[in-house]
Structure 1
């Protein structure tokens, strides 16, 4: 078959970033094309004034609902303005990249596509849209393969089946727990650790369509930022889903349906919006106070001797004292030449960059053996493995835009670049290992270019550990959930392969960690099962744990407290 032919349903008004972004992506695709805008005209702007439309809205929905919608729109714009101002003042490039251009308005003329105007019949509530037969027939005549719902209204009737692949639509929320609107608000209101989205094929039942894809990203601390982050991430995967349909000629298998046991969320009341403002102001002011006091989440490394990782009683561990103005994190243990060592991220607050340092571990104490590896970009997560008698390190190098291997040439402090094994990728916390005759890579990729390495776990395989041609797993991302996607270490014992994963909280990086057994890993499938979680409760004052490693009877891990960064 040729390219998948798609049409985008929009409203007869200025369009937001969401629509133009997907259209721009489609123009670069070899698998599908969006060649038509189907413009829903429920009010003719040349015949009905803005005042008249407001009066019609009040008649259908009431003054109270109008006031609630006006306030939430004002709140969103105010947050966007304040966040843009703060990110510019603080030099936060990640926040700037997420918010930049997101709330800019773009007219249909600027999009530059052919338009088909339709006039759906709107129910008395103003929520349900039925397309007249003439509009349905006009769409049918154009031989469109799939419709993408971007406009308003709950679509019912023949429009749902006029195209072979139906209508694909976002739900910007986890449809198992959050159905309704506004997108990205209620997760912040309830301080949820993650915010979800789904792509579904619409059916006649409200929110009862077939879910074809879903993902969970970490919840941002305020509504406008959370929504912008959610939209930017979600659009990437609608684009990829459409490319997959274009290649395969079929929709992906739908997720199993489960009962929905939560309310249908609507525009928050004025009281709820005021409560949200107070709660958000309190949360952000606390962060500001810590910043003024030069306090932050500061990591430390701890270790203990004896037994396997399953036997570890973490409260008995010895904590390594952080050097002044720095912190140690991401520990990886290795037994070499009859002694125990631990390689760590060594982060310097003044430079805003990490290097890799090494510690010598013994039951009576530890020794700082100095720097093992330093570059002119940030290094962390010094994952270690042995092959053909050599010791290799695959540290996080996402600032360099690649994944690279270093080889030890004089243990433990001299390493040299062996090979760049993946280029032009923003990846963090990569683990490489051999399994069933192949080499496998588990890594956390930021697909949307927004600095989010917490949400997506990707798998690749190759015939050699230092191959430059790693094949992506067809189910990538195999985990799409900020509560368990990011790597925190890798364990191997007689029972199999185990992935340590990070647990992200609400606006809290590394709030905890867990361990999952990899049950299935091959070129078609990936499945893991959680066996435990490790919260930061082993001593008073902890706010995080996120990495764990084990080697020859020594377990190492990290933990975090709120401390001054200059101590």
Structure 2
């Protein structure tokens, strides 16, 4: 047994000074097969330093599994690492540090080296009694591990509360994490946080949108999933117990083969060539809207009539409102290719025509999703303006063209496509957030409640995020019909934003939980050359849907 202690007094400094001195933090041990770890684990350690209620006190390092790795597997791992290095040269700035390795032994106060485990059944690795006793003697509250192979029941019980295991995609952990989903061009890549106690039970799980390149998909998955790992650790530190299993299925594992790497590389080059050609020819995604005179229920969207925005613009994210004079006005995202951003404009719906009334709200950042609601006799709009770092609400001073800022509901948030509605004496706010700060609002849906839609007192739902899935994690409108509430949600595809729509009926909403059921799906099969549809609105007698296709834009 080798135990190393580091003199790192700054690691013991927790925010709060003397007021926090009496706090006994949750003691966590990281169980790894090497002290050299990717950047996301180093970031986890840095985050834990700042938490008064928990501390990563021990790094437990075991030697490679006895029996070694077969030569073929070593070769595949080397090929994957080579692919990672190649893709790392063109990785987006957001993920640029992903491949940086850190010696965690320099950042965690105590290190314990234990004997190599033996391979066991059902994907477990088996530690000898001496290794288990050494870990138990550390007095840890929680053991945390990563990867495709989990520990046996004896090691899992070595910490007071138990053992958590983190899995990223079907690959489990680097170098294979995120590869299989990208190779198959799947729209989502999953993660799971499991409780290990002789069985595998999922405590938290989610899916995030799959990126086009394998390495970016892996980096994106780590950033997104680790936010929820941190939230779970914080909750355990607060309650002192593990939460109940989520009921999600235990994820399967996939090991790439040499031919899989070759096939992936070929498809990646093909995609890059197609995208390069499209850019050179100025073929861009162009949204549009279509009008249907009729209800949204069982609507035959093939009968909808498309209206065209002026040259150099497109209209999307339609929201309908019937004014006091009976005019039906559609508020839209009005995107200008010349500036690369949009403002909010108004269109009067006359039969199957849309009359451009002009801009209604223009800010120095991109705006879209002009969600409308009534409150105390006035009309309000909550547009998407994530570039401001706020959730803002505007009041209509004169319908439909004059609007003024009425309230800022939240500050310093990265939130998109917010909807508000009253129910059971409260106002409810559903919004898509990006706590990982990777400019992706397509998978995590958060719920809040408050006494007023114009206030700043918002209580988060205990189940937040209430959905982690690119199929439904971003709002696409809200329809109130016959006393029922229908949340429209976007469905993302692989490398395709806004591939389709899901209509969900809201069944239950509270400070503890949120439930909805899918009642309809809308695919982009109602118009010529459509590749997506991501928004719908209806007054009950007029329905407007948006859609997207690739077109030459000059």
TM-score by length of 2: 0.91
Matched, 1:327 2:306: no
Tell me, yes or no, if the aligned pair for 2:58 and 2:112 is still in contact at 8 Å: yes
Matched, 1:251 2:259: no
| Deviation at residue 288 of structure 1 after TM alignment | 1.4
Of 155, 158, 168, the match for 1:159: 155
Q: Which residue of 2 aligns with 1:343?
A: 331
Secondary structure in 1 aligned to 2:212? coil
Change in Cα spacing, 1:215 to 1:74, as seen in structure 2 (3 Å) is same
Separation in 2 of the partners of 1:179 and 1:145?
A: 24
Change in Cα spacing, 1:489 to 1:352, as seen in structure 2 (3 Å) is same
Of 92, 112, 116, the match for 1:116: 112
User: Which structure 2 residues correspond to residues 98-497 of structure 1 after superposition, within 5 A?
Assistant: 99-123=95-119, 129-150=125-146, 154-173=150-169, 182-204=176-198, 208-256=199-247, 264-266=253-255, 268-306=256-294, 308-336=295-323, 337-363=325-351, 365-497=353-485
CA deviations 1:37-59 (Å, max 9, x no partner) are 1122349xxxxxxxxx9xx85xx
CA deviations 1:468-490 (Å, max 9, x no partner) are 11110000110110111110000
| Deviation at residue 152 of structure 1 after TM alignment | 8.1
CA deviations 1:210-248 (Å, max 9, x no partner) are 100001001001110100000111111111001111112
Separation in 2 of the partners of 1:243 and 1:282?
A: 44
Tell me, yes or no, if the aligned pair for 1:179 and 1:265 is still in contact at 8 Å: no
My pick for the range that moved more, 542-551 or 30-39, is 30-39
| Deviation at residue 543 of structure 1 after TM alignment | 0.4
Separation in 2 of the partners of 1:342 and 1:423?
A: 28
| Deviation at residue 128 of structure 1 after TM alignment | 5.7
How many residues align? The count is 530
CA deviations 1:78-102 (Å, max 9, x no partner) are 0111x23xxxxxxxxxx311x2211
Secondary structure in 2 aligned to 1:221? coil
Of 544, 547, 553, the match for 2:541: 553
Secondary structure in 1 aligned to 2:436? coil
Change in Cα spacing, 1:459 to 1:157, as seen in structure 2 (3 Å) is closer
Separation in 2 of the partners of 1:257 and 1:458?
A: 19
Tell me, yes or no, if the aligned pair for 1:121 and 1:130 is still in contact at 8 Å: yes
Where in structure 2 are there 5+ consecutive unaligned residues? Answer: 1-22
Change in Cα spacing, 1:493 to 1:131, as seen in structure 2 (3 Å) is same
Q: Which residue of 1 aligns with 2:74?
A: 66
Secondary structure in 1 aligned to 2:428? strand
TM-score by length of 1: 0.89
| Deviation at residue 436 of structure 1 after TM alignment | 1.1
Q: Which has the higher contact order (CA 8 A, sep 6+)?
A: 1
| Deviation at residue 107 of structure 1 after TM alignment | 1.5
Q: Which residue of 1 aligns with 2:84?
A: 76
Separation in 2 of the partners of 1:252 and 1:467?
A: 32
Q: Which residue of 2 aligns with 1:87?
A: none
Secondary structure in 2 aligned to 1:138? helix
| Deviation at residue 22 of structure 1 after TM alignment | 1.2
CA deviations 1:357-398 (Å, max 9, x no partner) are 000011152210000100001100000011112111000010
CA deviations 1:500-529 (Å, max 9, x no partner) are 000000010000011000011112121000
Matched, 1:538 2:526: yes
Tell me, yes or no, if the aligned pair for 1:40 and 1:151 is still in contact at 8 Å: no
Tell me, yes or no, if the aligned pair for 1:9 and 1:151 is still in contact at 8 Å: no
Change in Cα spacing, 1:160 to 1:552, as seen in structure 2 (3 Å) is closer
Separation in 2 of the partners of 1:395 and 1:478?
A: 22
Separation in 2 of the partners of 1:17 and 1:257?
A: 28
My pick for the range that moved more, 129-138 or 278-287, is 129-138
My pick for the range that moved more, 310-319 or 320-329, is 310-319
Secondary structure in 2 aligned to 1:498? strand
Tell me, yes or no, if the aligned pair for 1:325 and 1:350 is still in contact at 8 Å: yes
Q: Which residue of 2 aligns with 1:91?
A: none
Tell me, yes or no, if the aligned pair for 2:146 and 2:173 is still in contact at 8 Å: no
Tell me, yes or no, if the aligned pair for 1:456 and 1:480 is still in contact at 8 Å: yes
| Deviation at residue 139 of structure 1 after TM alignment | 2.3
Query: For the aligned residues, what is the CA RMSD?
Result: 2.2
Secondary structure in 2 aligned to 1:265? coil
Tell me, yes or no, if the aligned pair for 1:357 and 1:373 is still in contact at 8 Å: yes
| Deviation at residue 105 of structure 1 after TM alignment | 1.3
| Deviation at residue 272 of structure 1 after TM alignment | 1.6
Separation in 2 of the partners of 1:236 and 1:446?
A: 10
Secondary structure in 1 aligned to 2:211? coil
My pick for the range that moved more, 431-440 or 144-153, is 144-153
Secondary structure in 1 aligned to 2:30? strand
My pick for the range that moved more, 440-449 or 180-189, is 180-189
Where in structure 1 are there 5+ consecutive unaligned residues? Answer: 44-52, 85-94
Separation in 1 of the partners of 2:279 and 2:36?
A: 40
CA deviations 1:321-370 (Å, max 9, x no partner) are 12211111000000002110000000111211110000001115221000
My pick for the range that moved more, 545-554 or 26-35, is 26-35
Tell me, yes or no, if the aligned pair for 1:462 and 1:470 is still in contact at 8 Å: yes
